[in-house]
Homo-oligomer: A and B are copies of this chain.
Amino acid sequence: MPACDPKGPLMPLRLATRDPDFDTRFASLLAMKREVSEEVNDVVRAIGHDVVARGDAAVIEYTAKFDKLMLTPATLRVTPEEIAAAVAACDPRTLDALRLAADRIRAYHERQKPKDDRFTDALGVELGYRWTAIEAVGLYVPGGTAAYPSSVLMNAVPAKVAGCPRVVMVVPAPGGTLNPLVLAAAELAGVDEIYRIGGAQAIFALAHGTETIRPVAKIMGPGNAYVAAAKKQVFGTVGIDMIAGPSEVLVIADGTANPDWIAADLLAQAEHDAAAQSLLITDDAALGAAVEAAVTRQLATLPRAEIAGASWRDYGAVIEVETLDEAVPLADRIAAEHLEIIAADGDALAGRIRNAGAIFLGGHTPEAIGDYVGGSNHVLPTARSARFSSGLGVLDYMKRTSILKCGPDQLRALGPAAIALGEAEGLAAHARSVAIRMNLGG
């Protein structure tokens, strides 16, 4: 990544659909790799073998090495007293904000709870399915600056709404320090156990269990390259959520939009990460130019200007279209994690777009509202994966079991077809398991 000079020109890519080379340049924009994949698999595999073999002792050694923190089996777990002290140490205004966020996230996700289905069909076959919560879920929370209390809420609240009886959080405490707001968020969300460990060793401890930490069935939450590699390695033994990439926003706007507001939203995305991506599609060239100027102006007073500036310069783009109709297929190909639509007929436009993680409608819905207090989940599909996947929700903490029940009459009605198909597929024992119940021999 080239170093960013915040005083130099920070120009995003500029495209227009009328350009003769638009298709090629747009395809290049889509194909941009924004992630440096680190090869850490071997290191992580060795940590995994060690944690499986030696349990607590291995976890404690890696924590001493990587987090400069000496633990014992008795001090792995964060105590209720520490959690209470952390809550007491938080700024009350921030705690109130966290409480509002938790309440709104809970209310939104309650509506996602799926219904069981049980019915009897015309033949008398009883059919259906039922949803059950995953019995134990692990939640990884990064340490240091990436420890976001809002992300604790976004991951843990839906788990509890789903009804998971055991939600276990791991969070590294480098040098012994834990972010009090992270503990407060865990408390608000109803997390059941918290361990002060991180890195690949924490993932393997959650997946395989140790003397102190009982294993979980699924592991959620973001982390660095080591954590991501460990999650991939334990997948199968446990479930995992998606591996999140750098964040992105696409703003679709017409001339009615306020360029300063759009610039602020583009920078809110860009400040996450130099590999974040902020895109604007507009049918108004003057708006595009005004947004670019406002970005430059606002960058000057932004604490994280270096990161945001690099993101805007390296991955930002302003795409001019002839009409907003042209924006629809482009937005579907971009499949943005966050899609803001600020246009006269925004709601209708939103209805025509298939691929987006979340849609923010109108000038008064900055994406940051959704990050914190809208109620919907801020864990959303990145890197064009909104083409085939959804944001985090209650269903990610549940699973469905199908149910089937025949009596003798139903078996008689369906049996011959099952026998025919079993025979056609060369599976004689399948056919016989039906026939034997119909007194057709076996």
Q: 1/0 per residue A8-21: CB within 8 Å of B?
A: 00000000000000
Q: Do B387 and A134 touch (CB < 8 A)?
A: yes
Rounded to whole angstroms, the CA-CA distance of A97 and B268 in the bound complex is 58
Name the CB-closest residue of B to A409: B364
Q: Do A132 and B354 touch (CB < 8 A)?
A: yes
Note all chain B residues with C-beta closer than 8 A to A39.
none
Name the CB-closest residue of B to A237: B384
**A386 contacts the other chain (CB 8 A):** yes
Q: Do B433 and A388 touch (CB < 8 A)?
A: no
Task: Report the minimal beta-carbon distance from A174 to chain B, rounded to whole angstroms.
Answer: 16
Q: Which of A69-77, A78-86, A282-290, A300-308 contacts B (4 or more CB under 8 A)?
A: A300-308
Q: Do A360 and B404 touch (CB < 8 A)?
A: yes
Q: Do B374 and A421 touch (CB < 8 A)?
A: no
Q: Do B125 and A429 touch (CB < 8 A)?
A: no
Task: Report the minimal beta-carbon distance from A389 to chain B, rounded to whole angstroms.
Answer: 6
**A401 contacts the other chain (CB 8 A):** yes
**A328 contacts the other chain (CB 8 A):** no
Residues A94 and B429 in contact in the complex (CB < 8 Å), given A375-B127, A400-B390:
no
For A411, give its contact among B150, B369, B377 (CB under 8 Å). B369
Note all chain B residues with C-beta closer than 8 A to A98.
421
For A364, give its contact among B217, B272, B374, B437 (CB under 8 Å). B437
Q: Do A389 and B239 touch (CB < 8 A)?
A: yes
Note all chain B residues with C-beta closer than 8 A to A101.
417, 421
Rounded to whole angstroms, the CA-CA distance of A132 and B265 in the bound complex is 26
Q: Do A96 and B417 touch (CB < 8 A)?
A: yes
Q: 1/0 per residue A108-132: CB within 8 Å of B?
A: 1001100001010100011101001
Residues A371 and B418 in contact in the complex (CB < 8 Å), given A129-B376, A304-B428:
yes
The 9 closest A-B pairs by CB, nearest first: A239-B388, A97-B417, A361-B405, A376-B402, A390-B400, A264-B433, A97-B420, A217-B387, A368-B430
Q: List 28 A-B contacts (CB under 8 A).
A: A91-B424, A96-B417, A100-B414, A121-B375, A127-B374, A134-B387, A135-B387, A218-B388, A236-B243, A238-B388, A239-B389, A267-B432, A298-B429, A304-B427, A304-B428, A356-B401, A357-B401, A357-B402, A359-B401, A359-B404, A361-B403, A365-B406, A366-B411, A366-B433, A366-B434, A366-B437, A377-B402, A390-B400
